[in-house]
């Protein structure tokens, strides 16, 4: 059995980044989403190390032990993918397989799009690679008057921070449960924040923690965010308009198609609401068009959004099977 992960800090792309690292061999880079940390990959770090890989999970820009620049404009997809290239440079690795979940999935997809010379294969969890639309998601929902859609709700600096930071333990207890496969039908993640309520208020309240989330895990998240706050991660959402503008060169119906030579895998839980969101539902259905190197879609029964934590055995099995197919 491999030893547990080691913790280190590196310099990348102008910031100091905290990493968890385990194992030796070909590099697999694990990018978490919101509101998570490198800790969300704890099960994958061990499995990858045990299978002969070097698994590295950073606290992404603005999260946990990694620097959180004050300027909201310092969180674009160009910064985030640049951070991952810088991780490879700092670790002395020419190439890696990049894996991303939630917000980390667009980072992974764009690493493969922007730098196929450095990222030789890509795995997305929960969020499919999507075509660049006629406008950004916040712009589209604002045009429909859906200001309480959570991505639009997150745009005003300070509002979501005050609500999420009021009680980080309760925030995580409710958010993680509500978007999981354990939430009751119809009581899951509130994509629309009801008037007069906060996002946390609108989440389901668990009677007990689901089996995949221990009290120790919950305390780790709450303590980390109690120190860092939520602003760094929320700034990712506050760059969605800017990301849309910056990716203009990859516009058109197939402008951001990944190289056909890049092997890809997509993993999602059948209870994950992301693949039923307008726009992302079509991206999921038509994923092969934008990701021609896609080997398969793996759907995990009963799993919700936090799939690598909820269903680690299924995720690890799919990931390791995919990695064994790649010629290193």
Could you give the CA distance from residue 180 to residue 97 in angstroms, rounded to a whole number? 26
140 C-beta neighbours (distance < 10 Å), count: 18
Mean pLDDT over 41-65 rounds to 98
pLDDT tens digits along 188-206: 888 899 998 999 999 999 9
Burial of 40 by CB count in 10 Å (0-12 exposed, 13-18 middle, 19+ buried)?
Answer: buried
Q: What is the largest CA-CA distance in the chain?
A: 54
**CATH code of the domain made up of 6-325:** 3.40.50.1820
Catalytic residue status for 110: no
Could you give the CA distance from residue 186 to residue 265 in angstroms, rounded to a whole number? 29
Q: Which residues pair with 269 in a beta bridge?
A: 300
* Strand bridging mode 6-12 / 96-101: unpaired
At residue 3, does pLDDT exceed 80? no
Catalytic residue status for 83: no
pTM: 0.97
Could you give the CA distance from residue 59 to residue 38 in angstroms, rounded to a whole number? 5
Residue tagged active-site, from 18, 39, 110, 305 = 305
State the Cα torsion 124-125-127-131 to the nearest 10°.
20
Phi and psi, residue 198, nearest 5°: -90, 170
Residue tagged active-site, from 102, 129, 182, 272 = 102
pLDDT tens digits along 235-260: 999 999 999 999 999 988 788 999 99
Q: How confident is the model at residue 215 (pLDDT cuts 50, 70, 90)?
A: very high
Taken in order 143, 146, 148, 154, the sign of the CA dihedral is negative
Mean pLDDT over 74-86 rounds to 98
């Amino acid at each position: 059995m491999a030893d547990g992960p080691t913790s280190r800090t590196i310099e990348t792309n102008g910031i100091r980044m905290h990493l968890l690292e385990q194992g030796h061999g070909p590099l697999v880079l694990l990018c978490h989403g919101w509101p998570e940390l490198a800790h969300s990959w704890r099960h994958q770090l061990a499995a990858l190390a045990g299978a002969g890989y070097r698994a590295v999970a950073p606290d992404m820009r603005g999260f946990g032990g990694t620097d959180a620049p004050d300027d909201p404009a310092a969180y674009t997809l160009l910064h985030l993918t640049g951070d991952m290239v810088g991780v490879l440079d700092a670790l002395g690795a020419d190439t890696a397989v990049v894996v991303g979940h939630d917000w980390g999935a667009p980072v992974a997809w764009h690493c493969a799009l922007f730098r196929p010379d450095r990222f030789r294969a890509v795995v997305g969890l929960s969020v499919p690679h999507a075509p660049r639309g006629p406008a950004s998601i916040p712009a589209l929902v604002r045009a429909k008057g859906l200001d309480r859609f959570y991505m639009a709700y997150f745009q005003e600096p300070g509002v979501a921070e005050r609500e999420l930071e009021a009680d980080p333990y309760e925030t995580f207890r409710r958010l993680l449960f509500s978007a999981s496969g354990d939430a009751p039908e119809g009581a899951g993640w509130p994509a629309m924040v009801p008037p007069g309520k906060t996002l946390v208020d609108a989440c389901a309240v668990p009677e007990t923690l689901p089996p995949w989330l221990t009290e120790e895990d919950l305390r780790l998240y709450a303590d980390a965010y109690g120190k860092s706050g939520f602003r760094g991660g929320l700034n990712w959402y506050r760059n969605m308009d800017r990301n849309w503008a910056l990716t203009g060169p990859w516009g058109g119906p197939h402008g951001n198609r990944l190289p056909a030579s890049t092997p890809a895998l997509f993993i999602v839980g059948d209870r994950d609401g992301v693949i039923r969101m307008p726009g992302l539902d079509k991206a999921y259905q038509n994923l092969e068009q934008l990701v021609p190197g896609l080997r398969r879609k793996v759907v995990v029964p009963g799993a919700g959004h936090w799939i690598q934590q909820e269903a680690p055995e299924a995720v690890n099995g799919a990931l390791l099977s995919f990695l064994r197919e790649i010629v290193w």
